[in-house]
Structure formats: structure tokens, C-alpha cells
A = this chain, B = another copy of it.
Amino acid sequence: MRIVVDAMGGDHAPANVVAGVVDAVKQFPVTITLVGVEDRVRAELHKFSYPKDRIEVHHASEVVDMDDSPMDVIRKKKDCSIVVGVNLLKQPGYDAFVSAGNTGAVVAASTFYLKMIDGVDRPGIGLVIPQVTGTAFLIDVGANAEPKPEHLYQYGHMARAYMQGVMGVESPRVGLVNIGQEEGKGSSFDKQAYQLLQEKVPGFIGNLEPNHIFAGKADCIVCTGFVGNVIIKLAEGLMESTGIVLKREIKKNPFSILGALLMMGALKGVKKYGDYSEYGGAPLLGVNGIVMKSHGRSSPKAIKNAIRATIRQVEYKIIDKMRTAVVS
């Protein structure tokens, strides 16, 4: 298996990407093609020892910035690591693409060069999120801010295929994010999405109120890209703010400081529970190819875990499974 990795994507590229890739080839049965500015990538690689035949470098002269417009990248930066990396997937022998780079550019390049699978109109980005027990798959978290109702049932199909194949959930339950639980709640958009999910997607359990998104009530959670993006960024920000407040409260009292030291293990457990890097990247679903988006602030561990989740998708032949799920 050969996975293409964008060496230039993310806030700490190529250093973090290369470090994560080196860890990945040592732990998993995979060969990596690093795409990026060759001398910069090789300079990072030289810092490590690793099986040389398992990492190759593919030169791409241009670099995408986090604030480049996606359309500009496709029109003007055709030799950037994202465009070159995505296009490698059209050649035999390359199984998947992983990038921690500009999300809009990854979505646009994947959609433009790989095209959509039959029965899917728009790509969606999914994310495995923690639950009180286990995990759930939230889609879309930002590829498609203004979807049509039919995009949402297509996300439902793809999310089920992902949870079945990659996460091993036999009969995933699918919920629709809405501000009321009863059928008929919300706008006409919400009602149409509800109807379509109910007609077409097995395991649909109805509306899911936002206070239940981390409660373990559904395995697949479907929403618009705007709402999904609000959910993941809000959760991130709230955990950060709570951490700040907790530290401040602890410092008020010497017993609390001692208490915090004694329960350090438990506090780390909670932090780990909310740590995306544990779960790897966010798959871009709906295009003709396995594309994984990793967080822009990805650590080497997050890159390694994104590669591990990508390997599972390749092994499971996720694209074939999604094609069948969407058409049936």
C-alpha cells in the first residue's frame, strides 16, 4: 500500500509531517510518497533513520498558504503539493492522499481532479468525535457551508459506510442535528432533510439535539458544514476556556493544588478524551479517492494517526463500499 502525504501542509510543515511519516512507516505496513519542495523535505528526512525504501519524495515546487483562495490554488498553483498529490491518486499504485494543508484547497482540488462518486453531489468532511462511551462520526464539518437537503442524506450513507468499515460499528444509528427532537421541528430545510434521511438511509433515528451530540445517542451525526464547523470549533474553545478556569480555581487554594497533582492522571484522561489527534484526521468523503484532511496544527502523532486511519480506509476499500451504499 502506498499513501501520498502532503509534506508542505500544516502550521509546522514540513517538520511535523516528516516526523509523523517516519513514525508511521516504522509502525505500519505502508509506503509513503511525500509531496513537496524536495530539498526542504529531504533536509527534514535527514534528521531520522528509517527504512529508505518505504519513503520516497515527489517534488512539487509551489506551496499553498493557509489563506490562499481555493480557486486560486487550482488556477495558479498547479505545481503545489496539494494539486500534485491529489493528481497522483489518478495513477495506479497510489492508494490515498493525506494533507494537513489549506482545507478549502484540498476540497477544491479533490473535487476538481478526482470528481464525485456516482450518487453524491457534494463532498463532505467527516470527523470522528468522542462520546461518553465510544466515538461518533460527525459530517459535514466544513466542506459545504450551504448544502441542499439531498446532500445531507448522501452524507448519512457515506457516514454509515465509514463507521461500519473503518470504526467497526455493525449497524450505525444516524441522527440529524436539529434544535428540537420531534419530527417537523426547524426550518423547511431541516424538514426536507429529515424526510430524505428517513426515506433513504438505514438506521435513521431522527433529530438529535445539540446537547446530545457527545452523549453517545448516535453513531453518525449529520448536519450542514456551517453547523458542523460551529460544533467542532465551539467544543475546542470550550475545553480550552474550561481548562483556563480550572487552573485559576486550583491556584486559589493549596489543597486544590495538591488535589490536582493527585488527580493528574484523571485530568489527562479527560484531556485525551477531547483530543482530536488521538483519532487521526478528517476524511473528505464523496470524491473518487481516499482523501484525509489532518488538522492544520497537527503534531507528528496526529499525522501518524491520520495515516493509520487512512490505511484502514484503503484496506476496507471504502470508496467501493460508499458507492454501493449511496446507490442502493
Contact = CB atoms under 8 A, between A and B. Distances in A.
Contacts of A238: 213-214, 235, 238-239
A105 B10 CA distance: 49
A269 B252 CA distance: 10
A91 interface: no
Contacts of A230: 177, 179, 210, 227, 230-231
Contacts of A209: 233
Contact of A245 (B225, B241, B242, B273): B273
A131 to B, nearest CB: 8
A145 B178 CA distance: 11
Given A211-B240, A234-B210, A237-B213, A246 B262 contact: no
Q: How many copies altogether?
A: 2
B211 A237 contact: yes
Contact of A237 (B182, B215, B241): B215
A258 interface: yes
A209 B232 CA distance: 11
Contact of A211 (B182, B211, B233, B245): B233
Interface residues of A, number: 57
A258 B262 contact: yes
A145 B226 contact: no
A72 to B, nearest CB: 14
A187 interface: yes
Interface string A249-288: 1101101101111111111011001100000000000000
B252 A265 contact: yes
Given A187-B146, A255-B262, A259-B266, A237 B249 contact: no
Interface of A: 67, 131-132, 142, 145-146, 177, 179, 182, 186-187, 209-215, 225-227, 229-231, 233-242, 244-246, 249-250, 252-253, 255-256, 258-267, 269-270, 273-274
